[in-house]
Amino acid sequence: MIPVALTIAGSDPSGGAGIQGDLKTFHAFGVYGAAVVARLTAQNTTGVRDVADPAPAFIAAQLDAVLDDLPVAAAKTGLLGTAAAVDVVVDRLRVHALRQLVVDPVLVATSGQTLVDPDALAAIRRLLPLATVVTPNLAEAEALVGRRVRDVAAMRDAARALVDLGARAALVKGGHLDGPPHDVLCTGGVLHDMAGQRVDIGRTHGTGCTLSAAITAELARGRALEEAVARARRWVARALTSAPAVGRGGRPLDHLVRPDD
């Protein structure tokens, strides 16, 4: 039977990020994708123009409809714009006892615009005890742990702190550091430094969403976490290499790239 993965996130009508990017990623990995819309955005590759929120009860109804019916092997969260949205997601995931969850704590768009309400940050921390892995970038890690994360040593400390906050594992992404990209994975009490090659294509759109979706897809396919992260990182690098210039802003990834198996 085909594996099923679920994204619980915001929309991106331009298709490069959010649930649209997640569903494309799931398809690339041969995984059946389901989606629950937690925040609507009016955005494109140049930035976010407006947002609108479904009622929390409707988010719960979407989750129940999917999880009552589909054998979801892994899920991910993305943009959850309000504390009420986060709380209802936490509640329904606990009720349904989902085993694999990737938490992508989306707080700020690549263009620099804040995407969540001020009270949402504390609520997002309540997701961490449900997380198989949490995948913040540097700014998101700083917000979650409450201190500066601007070098690899601080990334290691932040990864440990996120595990201390309840996540089973943490992947702190260092793509905004100078030099080659460097991520830090903390799992099972062990730190793994993960180096990579920088793909210089200028501004990008949806990279974090796509990486977390690729990890989710690999978990749904039965991969162990470390292997899932490594394979997802390789795939994102390849998808960046052929990223299409379809808009006037950041370039979305090439979701037509196939995994390396």
Q: Active-site residue among 206, 210, 216, 249? A: 206
Amino acid 202: pLDDT: 86
Amino acid 224: pLDDT: 97
Sign of the alpha-carbon torsion through 105, 212, 175, 223: positive
Amino acid 109: pLDDT: 66
Has residue 157 got a pLDDT over 90?
Answer: yes
Q: Active-site residue among 16, 33, 78, 208? A: 208
Annotation marks residue 210 as catalytic: no
What is the residue-averaged pLDDT of the chain? Answer: 94
Which are the contacts of 181, defined by CB distance < 8 A and separation ≥ 6?
173, 174, 175, 195, 196, 197, 198
Reported pTM: 0.96
Q: Active-site residue among 209, 210, 249, 250? A: 209
Which are the contacts of 246, defined by CB distance < 8 A and separation ≥ 6?
45, 252
Question: Which residue is associated with the tokens 């009508």?
Answer: 13
Annotation marks residue 186 as catalytic: no
Amino acid 162: pLDDT: 98
Annotation marks residue 24 as catalytic: no
Q: Active-site residue among 45, 77, 187, 207? A: 207
Has residue 242 got a pLDDT over 80?
Answer: yes
Measured distance CA(218)–CA(201) in Å, rounded: 26
Annotation marks residue 209 as catalytic: yes
Architecture of domain 4-252: 3-Layer(aba) Sandwich (3.40)
Q: Active-site residue among 41, 45, 82, 204? A: 204
Q: Active-site residue among 78, 173, 174, 249? A: 173
Annotation marks residue 207 as catalytic: yes
Amino acid 119: pLDDT: 86
Which are the contacts of 71, defined by CB distance < 8 A and separation ≥ 6?
1, 4
Rounded average pLDDT over 70-98: 97
- Mean pLDDT is highest, among 24-33, 40-49, 117-126, 236-245, for 24-33
Rounded average pLDDT over 12-27: 97
Q: Is 109 exposed, middle or buried (0-12, 13-18, 19+ CB in 10 A)?
A: buried
Annotation marks residue 204 as catalytic: yes
Q: What are the pLDDT digits (tens) for 95-129? A: 999 999 999 998 876 656 677 888 888 899 999 99
Rounded average pLDDT over 144-170: 96
pLDDT above 90: percentage of residues in the chain: 84
Rounded average pLDDT over 141-157: 94
Has residue 261 got a pLDDT over 70?
Answer: no
**Choice among 42-56, 68-82, 97-111, 137-151 with the minimum mean pLDDT:** 97-111
Vertex 123, ends 101 and 119: CA angle to 5°?
Answer: 145
Amino acid 107: pLDDT: 85
Q: What are the pLDDT digits (tens) for 3-19? A: 999 999 999 999 999 99
